[in-house]
């Protein structure tokens, strides 16, 4: 008898637990599905860890719960088409938010579909040039499968949400017995009030103005920009026309007196590299070696900080800004620049009697836009003889590029103006080739197949430990550039060595946008730049404000002419923020 009582008591206790579990199960399902929706709406892509704020209630997910609650109260069940609609909307937002996060990370601005959508296919080219075709195909396939999986998760989450709401509002706990109609409406109102109170309270308490806009606010911002785009484009075109009219060039660069000029841009060479705490000794050594080489044949040096228009990426915007005197930082600015009357430095140097050369080893396809810059000679990827291994994002080591420039660039009686864009230090900083003492042995790069190249295991989506590899590529570039100028540039040539923009913060470990510019040349020419604010030596002054990159062209023309000076165009910001 006693055993029977114990068994009965344990059975009743187990039954009560099961009933209690059934009572709480819809609450767990509702809260869990709501958290999943909040996570998808709020999460940043890519990210290396999950933040608690990603689960915070948002107006959009609360509105979905509100809609489903009203639906199950009025008529049930919720059709699968409704769940598919919610899944599609949130999937589109997740994809859009991912692109938005990428643009904030690499371009420090939000994605604008009307101007940024056309260049998006270049992402495929970037993957192919960085990882190879097979790896890029695998990555894109995995990305597509991830979107499919996310769509399925969103669909199932919406159904789970509706099922939980139906159990909480329509049916009595643990049964399929319907509640009275008035009870269903009352519970629906109470649930909706509780759910909608979450984002309302957070909005009142939140002081984080840097938090990205939610889906509705972001969609409204995008739609407003779309409506205003014709006016924005017209105003931007007018700005370019006004700047081209106001910019005045000297009739001749008589102070330069026909000396060769080289503008050598080192990809991603920024203030974060010069002021690196973990590599300060290596940086001091590299800059001292660079100065020794630049001054070995009688030149003197000076340096300054410049403020580029972009941070993290967008090298072509920095290149255009540097050589046109007009701030360019969006596809709209760039396209209007190419269609404007603004005269770039390359065309000005041609008018001064120079043979102009554009060296872009990272350009792997025909670039018709390059006709705007009007170079006499082009050296793109297919102009280089190379049979060695692919090194980093750019296929060729910087030293091989510089070697073939000095051997293959046309020799003319005219002085030469060269723009050289080096890319070994381009993200994602996966490899650093060795520095070769014997330039004559480089040839077509076959010897790189037998040399040890330093490799780093970095991915575009995980660059948290990129500072060391990034610094290794910068130190390499400074080494080979200094040796190139010392060995192969004319003794009286004017050389400019500078960065185009800072890399993303994971690599630079700096939030500053500045890049260094070093100049080397005859003392009488360098002194003219010092009078304009440059600091003698290789270290820019920390007390002077950075020179805006769009001010470089007028300063260049003023400093290298004795006659009429070049009027600096007014510093007007682009209209696309």
Q: What is the pLDDT of residues 22-67, one digit of tens each?
A: 566 777 777 788 788 888 887 776 666 777 777 777 777 878 888 8
Q: Which residues make Cβ contacts (< 8 Å) with residue 220, sequence separation at least 6?
A: none
Three-state DSSP at 230 gives: helix
Tokens 């705490």 belong to 277
Instruction: Extract the tokens encoding 77.
Output: 């069940």
Sign of the CA dihedral running 237, 241, 247, 253: positive
Helix and strand tally (H, E) in the chain? 18, 11
Residues 352 and 370: beta-carbon distance below 8 Å: no
Report how far residue 571's alpha carbon sits from residue 326's, in angstroms, rounded to the nearest whole number: 8
Segment 80-121, tens digit of pLDDT: 888 898 888 888 888 888 888 777 777 777 788 877 877 777
Helix axes 80-106, 59-74, angle to 10 degrees: 180
Half-sphere exposure of 64 (CA within 13 A, CB side): 31
Domain extents for the chain? Answer: 20-203, 247-559
Which class for 308: exposed (0-12), middle (13-18), buried (19 or more C-beta within 10 A)?
A: buried
What does the pLDDT read at residue 387? 94
Q: Which residues make Cβ contacts (< 8 Å) with residue 114, sequence separation at least 6?
A: 225, 226, 229
Instruction: Extract the tokens encoding 140.
Output: 């894109």
Q: Which residues of 502-513 are buried (b: 16+ CB within 10 A; e: fewer)?
A: bbbbbbbbbebb
2.60.40.10, 3.40.720.10, 3.40.640.10, 3.40.50.150: CATH of 247-559: 3.40.720.10
Tokens 């990272």 belong to 362
Report how far residue 334's alpha carbon sits from residue 574's, in angstroms, rounded to the nearest whole number: 11
Q: Where are the beta strands (DSSP E) in 103-207?
A: none
Other beta carbons within 10 angstroms of residue 52's beta carbon come to 6
Query: In sequence order, what DSSP letters do the residues of 394-443 get, joined into one string?
Result: SSS-HHHHHHHHHHHSPP-SS-EEEEEEE-TT-TT--EEPPPPS-GGGTT
Check whether the bond before 55 is cis (ω within 30° of 0).
no
Three-state DSSP at 547 gives: strand
- Residues in the chain where the model's pLDDT stays below 70: 1-24, 45-48, 76, 126, 129-132, 170-192, 194-214, 244-247, 563-577
Instruction: Extract the tokens encoding 490.
Output: 């004319």
167 φ, ψ to 5°?
-65, -35
Q: Which residues of 519-553 are buried (b: 16+ CB within 10 A; e: fewer)?
A: bbbbeebbbbbbeebbbebbbbeeeeebbbbbbbb
What is the distance of C-alpha 356 from the center of its chain? 30
What does the pLDDT read at residue 374? 93
What does the pLDDT read at residue 50? 73
Q: Which helix (H) or strand (E) holds 240?
A: helix 215-246
Kindly list the distances between the CA atom of residue 560 and the CA atoms of 321, 344, 346, 463, in Å, as whole numbers in the listed order: 19, 16, 15, 42
């Amino acid at each position: 008898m006693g055993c029977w009582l114990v068994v009965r008591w344990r059975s009743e206790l187990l039954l009560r637990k099961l009933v209690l579990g059934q009572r709480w199960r819809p609450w767990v399902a509702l809260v869990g599905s709501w958290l999943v929706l909040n996570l998808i709406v709020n999460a940043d892509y890519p990210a290396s860890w999950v933040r608690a704020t990603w689960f915070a209630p948002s107006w959009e997910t609360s509105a979905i719960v509100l809609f489903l609650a009203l639906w199950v109260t009025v008529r049930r069940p919720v059709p699968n088409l409704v769940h598919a609609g919610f899944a599609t909307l949130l999937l589109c937002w997740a994809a859009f938010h991912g692109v938005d996060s990428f643009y904030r990370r690499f371009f420090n601005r939000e994605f604008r579909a009307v101007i940024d959508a056309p260049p998006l296919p270049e992402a495929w080219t970037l993957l192919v040039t960085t990882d190879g075709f097979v790896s890029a195909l695998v990555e894109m396939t995995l990305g597509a499968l991830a979107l499919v999986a996310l769509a399925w998760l969103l669909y199932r989450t919406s159904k789970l949400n509706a099922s939980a709401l139906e159990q909480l509002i329509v049916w009595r706990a643990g049964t399929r017995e319907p509640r009275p109609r008035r009870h269903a409406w009352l519970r629906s109102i109470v649930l909706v009030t509780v759910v909608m109170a979450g984002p309302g309270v957070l909005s009142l308490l939140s002081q984080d103005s840097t938090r990205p806009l939610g889906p509705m606010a972001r969609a409204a911002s995008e739609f407003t920009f779309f409506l205003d785009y014709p006016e924005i484009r017209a105003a931007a075109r007018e700005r370019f026309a006004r700047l081209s009219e106001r910019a005045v060039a000297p009739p001749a660069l008589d102070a330069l007196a026909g000396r060769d000029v080289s503008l050598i841009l080192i990809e991603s060479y920024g203030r974060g590299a010069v002021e690196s705490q973990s590599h300060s000794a290596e940086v001091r050594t590299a800059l001292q070696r660079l100065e020794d080489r630049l001054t070995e044949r009688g030149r003197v040096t000076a340096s300054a900080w410049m403020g580029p228009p972009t941070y993290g990426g967008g090298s072509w915007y920095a290149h255009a800004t540097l050589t046109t005197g007009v701030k360019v930082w969006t596809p709209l600015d760039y396209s209007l620049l190419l269609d404007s009357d603004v005269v770039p430095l390359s065309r000005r140097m041609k008018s001064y009697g120079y043979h102009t050369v554009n060296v872009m080893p990272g350009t792997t396809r025909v670039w018709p836009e390059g006709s705007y810059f009007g170079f006499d000679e082009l050296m793109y990827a297919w102009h280089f003889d190379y049979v060695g291994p692919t090194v980093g994002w750019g296929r060729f080591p910087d030293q091989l590029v510089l070697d073939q420039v000095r051997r293959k660039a046309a020799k003319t009686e005219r002085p030469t103006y060269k723009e050289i864009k080096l890319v070994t230090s381009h993200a994602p900083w996966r490899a650093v080739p060795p520095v070769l003492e014997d330039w004559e042995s480089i040839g077509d790069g076959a010897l790189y197949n037998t040399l040890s190249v330093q490799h780093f295991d970095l991915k575009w989506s995980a660059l948290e430990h990129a500072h060391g590899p990034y610094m290794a590529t910068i130190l390499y570039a400074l080494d080979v550039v200094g040796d190139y100028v010392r060995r192969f540039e004319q003794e009286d040539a004017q050389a400019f060595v500078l960065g185009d923009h800072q890399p993303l913060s994971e690599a630079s470990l700096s939030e500053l946008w500045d890049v260094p510019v070093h100049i080397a040349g005859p003392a009488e020419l360098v002194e003219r730049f010092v009078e304009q604010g440059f600091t003698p030596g290789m270290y820019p002054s920390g007390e002077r404000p950075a020179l805006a990159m769009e001010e470089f062209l007028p300063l260049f023309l003023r400093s290298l002419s004795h006659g009429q000076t070049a009027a600096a165009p007014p510093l007007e910001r682009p209209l696309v923020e």
